């Protein structure tokens, strides 16, 4: 604290001498202290893929363009966003031409050119490299330099939405000179490059202690001479979300804590100290309950949850799926577990606004116990002596699994109580996140295997275009032994009409039409009960009251506009 | 004694090999996956490529043998090279690489060791220094007020978990009183008096939490051992000879009582190295305990394997040291 005051005093003195405006000079605002409760393991997002690594590396390395807090593309290393109108995107959707900013320098003083962009593509697509962001470069046939400041990307097939390669925190440009000997299988061996990449961003890595703390200094070669306002950054890692929130909101030791997803009541007491504020931003995360369309009866052994097991004995009934959704009061779940970081939703594509449907909000967002009971009565599901409904010996009693997490377990309890009101029983189970999401084909507890009747977790899509995401519910993406349980159609939903519509979306370039199709697909999933969307989850982070210039962003790294952050005097 | 020590060291080799195999097999069977923490937006094919680049697609025995070679041959050679400046071969040896950071595991351990030794080691030392006088007085004045209070505190210290005392101290001393920081600054360099004070301040809370825990445990041992000896015939003899009470207590009884205590202390030393996993995590001390827990959570198997194996080596080693010490301290015990 004392140190901080001294620094502040020094800063004020320096400012008084220079007579500059509050945030108009580089490095005048001292040290910015950031806390990530999951410590950063490496500064190379191509080798890790974890959100914490993507965010931390975004301090140093930049993509051609980012998505701003409103979900719109803004050029970073590019001079402008290529579109059909300005000729950047070819009419046949087979190539995209980026014009780079002319005078950008790497932090070592060398010029940034098209060669670096090409190298980045080669680096991530090299065989044996295990590049974690390979999906960003999917469908890219070639990347070539038209001139030193123009890059042309050609695609293998028409790309209606071409802004994934070199766009966003997941695919920043790395320096060809630094990484030239680190391609493919040699990538992990380049420890010093992976821990201290040379970048074009507002800061450079000064010291990297893996899984602990990183110190950054302002980049002397940053393209805007007045930025960044901070002279250095200390990014500390480790601990847990609650204590990270406390360090910003209550003790004031840190300026910014990432992902402070803690129960709302706990945060309220911390906010009372008046040292910080919470900000949330909503991206595309949706907490959902997947309904298993295949039979998950344990007596079926290895066949359960596969096509061989046949349809689920009770969840195959659309009335049951609809009733399960109607019985849930989403507002209570939001209030108890998410607070400002959640909104009730019935859509699997909740944002951006242009593709977010409101068609089903009418019936779905409001709890309707009577309506749900009537649906089940009409469908012939009769309550037994134990209060659980049954028909032809099939009971509406479900195994309900999720990952271990206090908010999820509380939500499980709430949903169980709500379902009890319509005569549906639930047995709760949870598995450690590393196992549940681990995807080990030998483990019975992964979400892909889905050895349960219903399961709950969050998923989202990168960027603002949902096409690839909506394609996850295609019939041929159903996980099973044949594909090593790797498909992404976890609920095992299969509808040829849906498949056809996704095919149509992939061929449509017109933005309006794409949005309409996306909404239609989303509505199909909600109406047919592929899953029950529960909560549109936001990102929640804590900021010190003195920190200004922050624009919470869910579409890209939360540190996307770090160069503009400054301290209020 | 020397031949005994040699024999024990020799027997330690197969023991450690078996331990390393068991650890490796257990970790391999565990349903953990290094790609489990990645966002779900990373598609399955890419996850498959990541696993392959980590070498997970190779057969179990091949991976085990590779680890043995990296740990027992490549890493020692590297350390030797660094210490002596000699060059063996081309110096391009495959090292044990952590999956999460993709950097050599040994470098991570070297980076973490000093913090653990300082914080956990100091807490252990303080624990011993507090425990011995408390144990001695408690035993000498059995059932006195001092003994009752001492027993109460050690019971509390022993039974209340560190994740509770740690957070309690943070709430009191960091949030409310604001005397000590709640987050350990691992970048702090002790260069002058003020940075030394800062270092002391940030070590105060974690050391206090661990010292309380260690002291409680050892104080109970000292007390029990003292009580055993206080009623021995040689004590009565000494008193009958007119030896001063202070000498009886501190020379005759304490020395004999410390023999089992020294064993307990020696056996506890490996826990210093394994770090206080929970305490380090709470105070964000970047020690070995925190390294281990993040590695476990992230399924960073090479790191977990190497760390647990080093702890196994230390346990085997300190068991031997405890046995040898016992022989030196207690003339009644002879191994040869």
The CATH code of the domain that includes A502 is: 3.10.105.10
**How far off is chain A from B154, nearest CA to CA, in Å?**
28
Edge-to-edge strand list for the sheet holding A150-155: A95-99, A150-155, A140-147
Count the neighbouring beta carbons within 10 Å of the beta carbon of residue A363. 15
Question: Mutate which of B32, B39, B91 to disrupt the A interface (most A C-beta within 10 Å)?
Answer: B39
pLDDT tens-digit map of A354-378 = 899 999 998 999 999 999 999 999 9
Residue ranges of E strands in A230-312: 232-237, 256-258, 276-291
Cβ-in-10-Å burial (0-12, 13-18, 19+) of A178 comes to buried
Residue A436, pLDDT score? 87
Answer yes or no: do A534 and A555 share one domain: no
Q: Are strands A203-209 and A213-218 parallel, antiparallel or unpaired?
A: antiparallel
Is A408 a domain residue?
no
Q: Can you give chain B as a three-state secondary structure string?
A: CHHHHHHHHHHHHHHHHHHHHHHHHHHHHCCCCCCCCCCCCCCHHHHHHHHHHCCCCCCHHHHHHHHHHHHHHHHHHHHHHHHHCCCCCCCCCCCCECCCCCCEHHHHHHHHHHHHHHHHHHHHHHHHHHHHHHHHHHHHCCCCHHHHHHHHHHHHHHHCCHHHHHHHHHHHHHHHCCCCCCCCCCCCCCCCHHHHHHHHHHHHHHHHHHHHHHHHHHHHHHHHHHHHHHCCHHHHHHHHCCCCHHHHHHHHHHHHHHHHHHHHHHHHHHHHHCCCHHHHHHHCCCCHHHHHHHHHHCCCHHHHHHHHHHHHHHHHHHHHHHHHHHHHHCCCCCCC
Sign of CA dihedral A439, A441, A445, A449: positive
Answer yes or no: do A172 and A79 share one domain: yes
CB A531 within 8 A of CB A346: no
Cross-chain residue pair B100–A211, CB shorter than 8 Å: yes
Task: Identify which of B37, B170, B286 has the shortest CB distance to residue A50.
Answer: B37
Task: Identify which of A131, A239, A488 has the shortest CB distance to residue B44.
Answer: A488
CB A151 within 8 A of CB A94: no
**How far off is chain B from A442, nearest CA to CA, in Å?**
7
**Which residues of B fall within a CB distance of 8 Å from A436?**
36
Residue A22, pLDDT score? 45
pLDDT exceeds cutoff 60 at A3: no
Alpha helices in A318-396, H assignment, sequence order: 318-326, 330-337, 361-364, 369-378
Task: Identify which of B31, B48, B290 has the shortest CB distance to residue A445.
Answer: B31
Count of pairs with CB atoms under 8 A, one residue in A, one in B: 173
| Helix/strand/coil for A415 | helix
**How far off is chain B from A380, nearest CA to CA, in Å?**
38
- DSSP symbol at A563: G
Is A426 a domain residue?
no
Cross-chain residue pair A251–B102, CB shorter than 8 Å: no
Task: Identify which of A42, A134, A460 has the shortest CB distance to residue B46.
Answer: A134
Question: Mutate which of A132, A193, A248, A271 to disrupt the B interface (most B C-beta within 10 Å)?
Answer: A132
Is A208 a domain residue?
yes
Residue A290, pLDDT score? 95
Chain A 88-147, residues with CB within 8 Å of chain B CB atoms: 128-135
CB B152 within 8 A of CB B324: no
- DSSP symbol at A39: P
A6-10, A144-148, A161-165: least confident range: A6-10
Answer yes or no: do A27 and A66 share one domain: yes
Is A449 a domain residue?
no
Answer yes or no: do A315 and A362 share one domain: yes
Cβ-in-10-Å burial (0-12, 13-18, 19+) of A269 comes to exposed
CB A78 within 8 A of CB A98: yes
**Which residues of A fall within a CB distance of 8 Å from B48?**
486
Q: Determine the average pLDDT of the residues in A158-169.
A: 90
Answer yes or no: do A151 and A229 share one domain: yes
**How far off is chain B from A51, nearest CA to CA, in Å?**
7
Smallest CA-to-CA distance from B53 within A487, A49, A121, A184 is with A184
In angstroms, the CA A242 to CA A261 distance is: 8
In angstroms, the CA A93 to CA A96 distance is: 8
Count the neighbouring beta carbons within 10 Å of the beta carbon of residue B311. 19
What are the φ and ψ backbone dihedral angles of B43, each rounded to 5 degrees? -70, 160
Q: Determine the average pLDDT of the residues in A276-294.
A: 93
Question: Mutate which of A55, A234, A243 to disrupt the B interface (most B C-beta within 10 Å)?
Answer: A243
CB A247 within 8 A of CB B183: yes
A28-56 per-residue burial string, b: 16 or more CB within 10 A, e: under 16: bbbbbbbbbbbbbbbbbbbbbbbbbbbbb
Residue A24, pLDDT score? 63
- DSSP symbol at A185: G
Answer yes or no: do A244 and A327 share one domain: no
pLDDT exceeds cutoff 90 at A550: yes
Cross-chain residue pair B183–A215, CB shorter than 8 Å: no
Q: Does A476 touch chain B if contact means CB atoms closer than 8 Å?
A: no
User: Which architecture characterizes domain B110-329 according to CATH?
Assistant: Orthogonal Bundle (1.10)
**How far off is chain A from B95, nearest CA to CA, in Å?**
9
A521 confidence band (pLDDT: 50, 70, 90): very high
DSSP letters spanning A429-451: EEE-HHHHTT--TT-TT-TTT--
Chain A 248-267, residues with CB within 8 Å of chain B CB atoms: 250-251, 253-254
Q: Are strands A256-258 and A454-459 parallel, antiparallel or unpaired?
A: unpaired
Cross-chain residue pair B108–A243, CB shorter than 8 Å: no
Count the neighbouring beta carbons within 10 Å of the beta carbon of residue A336. 17
Q: What is the pLDDT along chain B (336 residues), one digit of tens a residue?
A: 788 889 989 999 999 999 999 999 998 888 778 887 788 888 888 888 888 888 888 888 999 998 998 888 888 888 888 888 777 766 667 788 898 888 899 989 998 898 888 898 999 999 999 999 999 999 999 999 999 999 999 899 889 988 899 989 988 998 888 899 888 888 888 888 999 999 999 999 999 999 998 999 899 999 999 999 998 999 999 999 999 999 999 888 998 898 889 888 988 888 887 768 888 888 888 889 889 988 888 888 999 999 999 999 999 999 999 888 888 888 887 776
Is A393 a domain residue?
no
**Which residues of B fall within a CB distance of 8 Å from A135?**
41-43, 46
Residue B40, pLDDT score? 83
What are the φ and ψ backbone dihedral angles of B105, each rounded to 5 degrees? -60, -40
Is A422 a domain residue?
no
Cross-chain residue pair A438–B50, CB shorter than 8 Å: no
Answer yes or no: do A270 and A351 share one domain: no
Chain A 30-59, residues with CB within 8 Å of chain B CB atoms: 35, 39, 41-42, 44, 47-51
pLDDT exceeds cutoff 60 at A4: no
**Which residues of A fall within a CB distance of 8 Å from B170?**
243, 246
Report chain B's C-alpha Rg in angstroms. 24
Cross-chain residue pair B108–A1, CB shorter than 8 Å: no
Is A199 a domain residue?
yes
Residue A8, pLDDT score? 47
Residue A569, pLDDT score? 78
Take residue A341 and report the two structure tokens written for it: 């970081």
pLDDT exceeds cutoff 80 at A438: no
Q: What is the CATH number of the domain that holds A175?
A: 3.40.190.10
Q: Determine the average pLDDT of the residues in A219-248.
A: 90
Task: Identify which of A48, A211, A460 has the shortest CB distance to residue B291.
Answer: A211
Task: Identify which of A132, A234, A250 has the shortest CB distance to residue B187.
Answer: A234
Number of structural domains found in chain A: 2
Q: Which domain holds residue A149?
A: 2-275+545-567
| Helix/strand/coil for A546 | coil
CB A120 within 8 A of CB A137: no
- DSSP symbol at A413: H
**Which residues of A fall within a CB distance of 8 Å from B167?**
243
Residue A203, pLDDT score? 96
**Which residues of A fall within a CB distance of 8 Å from B100?**
41-42, 48, 210-211
pLDDT exceeds cutoff 80 at A1: no
pLDDT tens-digit map of A87-143 = 899 988 899 999 999 989 999 999 999 999 999 999 999 988 889 999 899 899 999
Is A414 a domain residue?
no
CB A478 within 8 A of CB A487: yes
Cross-chain residue pair B53–A487, CB shorter than 8 Å: no
CB B316 within 8 A of CB B15: yes
Sign of CA dihedral A498, A503, A504, A505: positive
Residue A94, pLDDT score? 92
**Which residues of A fall within a CB distance of 8 Å from B39?**
49-51, 460
Chain A 179-238, residues with CB within 8 Å of chain B CB atoms: 185, 187-188, 191, 194-195, 207, 209-213, 215, 234, 236-238
Answer yes or no: do A532 and A474 share one domain: yes
In angstroms, the CA B213 to CA B127 distance is: 8
Question: Mutate which of A54, A212, A441 to disrupt the B interface (most B C-beta within 10 Å)?
Answer: A212
Where is A6: in which H helix or E strand?
helix A2-18
Q: How far is CA B37 from the centre of its chain?
A: 28
Answer yes or no: do A498 and A533 share one domain: yes
pLDDT tens-digit map of A444-455 = 888 999 999 999
Answer yes or no: do A252 and A329 share one domain: no
Chain A: residue nearest B277 by CA? Answer: A239
Domain boundaries along the sequence of chain B: 110-329
pTM here is: 0.84
Answer yes or no: do A302 and A343 share one domain: yes
Cross-chain residue pair B31–A440, CB shorter than 8 Å: yes
In angstroms, the CA A80 to CA A77 distance is: 9
Answer yes or no: do A182 and A307 share one domain: no
In angstroms, the CA A281 to CA A277 distance is: 14
More confident residue, A322 or B53: A322
Chain B: residue nearest A136 by CA? Answer: B42
**Which residues of A fall within a CB distance of 8 Å from B107?**
191
Residue B34, pLDDT score? 83
Question: Mutate which of B36, B174, B278 to disrupt the A interface (most A C-beta within 10 Å)?
Answer: B36
Span between the terminal Cα atoms of chain B, in Å: 6
Chain A 404-463, residues with CB within 8 Å of chain B CB atoms: 433-440, 442-443, 445-446, 459-462
Q: Determine the average pLDDT of the residues in A165-181.
A: 93
Cross-chain residue pair B298–A41, CB shorter than 8 Å: yes
């Amino acid at each position: 604290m004392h140190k901080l005051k001294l620094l502040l005093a020094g800063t004020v003195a320096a400012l008084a001498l220079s007579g500059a405006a509050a945030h108009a000079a580089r490095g005048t605002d001292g040290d910015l202290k950031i806390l990530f409760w999951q410590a950063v393991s490496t500064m190379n997002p191509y080798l890790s893929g974890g959100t914490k690594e993507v965010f931390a590396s975004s301090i140093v390395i930049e993509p051609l363009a980012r998505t701003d807090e409103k979900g719109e593309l803004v050029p970073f290393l590019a001079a402008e966003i290529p579109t059909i109108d300005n000729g950047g995107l070819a009419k046949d959707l087979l190539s995209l031409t980026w014009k780079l900013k002319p005078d950008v320098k790497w932090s070592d003083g060398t010029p940034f050119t098209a060669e670096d962009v090409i190298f980045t593509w080669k680096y991530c697509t090299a065989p044996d490299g295990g590049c974690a962001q390979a999906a960003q470069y999917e469908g890219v046939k070639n990347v070539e330099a038209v001139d030193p400041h123009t890059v042309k990307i050609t695609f293998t097939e028409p790309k209606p939405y071409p802004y994934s390669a070199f766009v966003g925190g997941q695919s920043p440009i790395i320096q060809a000179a630094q990484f030239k000997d680190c391609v493919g299988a040699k990538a992990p061996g380049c420890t010093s490059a992976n821990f201290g990449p040379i970048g074009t961003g507002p800061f450079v890595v000064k010291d990297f202690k893996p899984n602990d703390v990183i110190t950054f200094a302002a980049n002397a070669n940053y393209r805007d001479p007045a930025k960044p306002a901070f002279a250095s950054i200390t990014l500390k890692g480790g601990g847990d979300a609650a204590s990270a929130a406390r360090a910003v909101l209550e003790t004031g030791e840190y300026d910014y804590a990432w992902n402070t997803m803690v129960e709302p009541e706990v945060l309220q007491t911390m906010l009372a100290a008046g040292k910080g504020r919470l900000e949330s931003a909503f991206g595309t995360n949706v907490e959902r309950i997947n309904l298993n369309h295949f039979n998950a009866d344990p007596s079926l052994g290895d066949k359960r949850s596969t096509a061989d097991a046949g349809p689920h004995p009770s969840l195959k009934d659309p009335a049951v799926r609809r009733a399960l959704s109607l019985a849930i009061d989403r507002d209570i779940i939001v209030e108890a577990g998410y607070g400002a970081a959640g909104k009730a939703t019935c859509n699997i594509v909740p944002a951006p606004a242009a593709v977010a449907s409101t068609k089903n909000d009418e019936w779905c967002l409001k709890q309707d116990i009577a309506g749900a009971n009537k649906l089940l009565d009409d469908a012939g599901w009769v309550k037994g002596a134990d209060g659980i409904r049954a028909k032809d010996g099939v009971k509406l009693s479900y195994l309900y699994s999720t990952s271990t997490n206090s908010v999820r377990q509380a939500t499980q309890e709430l949903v169980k109580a709500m379902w009890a009101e319509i005569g549906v029983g639930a047995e709760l189970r949870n598995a450690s996140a590393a196992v549940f999401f681990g995807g080990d084909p030998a483990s019975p507890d992964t979400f892909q295997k889905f050895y349960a009747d219903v399961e709950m977790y969050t998923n989202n899509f990168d960027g603002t275009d949902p096409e690839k995401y909506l394609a996850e519910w295609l019939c041929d993406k159903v996980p099973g032994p044949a594909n090593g349980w790797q498909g992404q159609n976890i609920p095992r939903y299969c509808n040829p009409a849906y498949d056809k519509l996704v095919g149509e979306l992939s061929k449509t370039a017109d933005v309006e039409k794409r949005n309409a199709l996306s909404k239609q697909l989303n509505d199909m999933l909600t109406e047919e009960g592929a899953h029950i969307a529960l909560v549109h989850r936001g990102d929640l982070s804590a900021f010190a009251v003195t920190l200004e210039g922050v624009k919470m962003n869910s579409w890209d790294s939360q540190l996307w506009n770090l160069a503009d952050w400054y301290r209020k005097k | 004694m020397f031949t005994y020590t040699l024999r024990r060291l020799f027997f330690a080799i197969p023991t450690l090999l078996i331990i390393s195999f068991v650890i490796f097999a257990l970790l391999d069977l565990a349903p953990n996956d290094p790609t489990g923490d990645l966002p779900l937006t990373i598609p399955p094919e890419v996850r498959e490529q990541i696993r392959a680049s980590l070498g997970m697609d190779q057969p179990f025995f091949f991976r085990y043998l590779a680890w043995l070679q990296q740990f027992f041959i490549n890493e020692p050679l590297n350390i030797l090279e660094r210490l002596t400046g000699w060059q063996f071969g081309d110096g391009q040896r495959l090292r044990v690489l952590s999956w999460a950071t993709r950097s050599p595991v040994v470098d991570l351990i070297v980076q973490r060791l000093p913090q653990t030794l300082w914080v956990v080691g100091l807490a252990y030392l303080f624990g011993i220094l507090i425990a011995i006088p408390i144990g001695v007085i408690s035993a000498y004045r059995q059932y006195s007020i001092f003994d009752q209070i001492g027993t109460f505190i050690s019971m509390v210290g022993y039974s209340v978990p560190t994740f509770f005392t740690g957070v309690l101290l943070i709430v009191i001393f960091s949030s409310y009183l604001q005397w000590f920081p709640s987050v350990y600054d691992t970048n702090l360099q002790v260069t002058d008096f003020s940075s030394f004070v800062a270092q002391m301040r940030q070590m105060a809370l974690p050391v206090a939490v661990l010292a309380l825990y260690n002291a409680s445990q050892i104080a109970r041992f000292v007390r029990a051992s003292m009580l055993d000896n206080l009623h021995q015939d040689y004590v009565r003899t000494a008193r009958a000879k007119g030896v001063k009470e202070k000498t009886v207590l501190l020379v005759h009884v304490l020395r004999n009582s410390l023999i089992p205590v020294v064993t307990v202390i020696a056996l506890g030393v490996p826990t210093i190295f394994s770090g206080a996993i929970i305490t380090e995590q709470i105070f964000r001390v970047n020690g070995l305990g925190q390294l281990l827990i993040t590695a476990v959570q992230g399924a960073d198997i090479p790191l977990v394997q190497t760390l647990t194996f080093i702890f196994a080596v230390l346990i085997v080693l300190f068991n031997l040291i405890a046995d040898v010490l016992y022989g030196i301290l207690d003339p009644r015990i002879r191994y040869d």
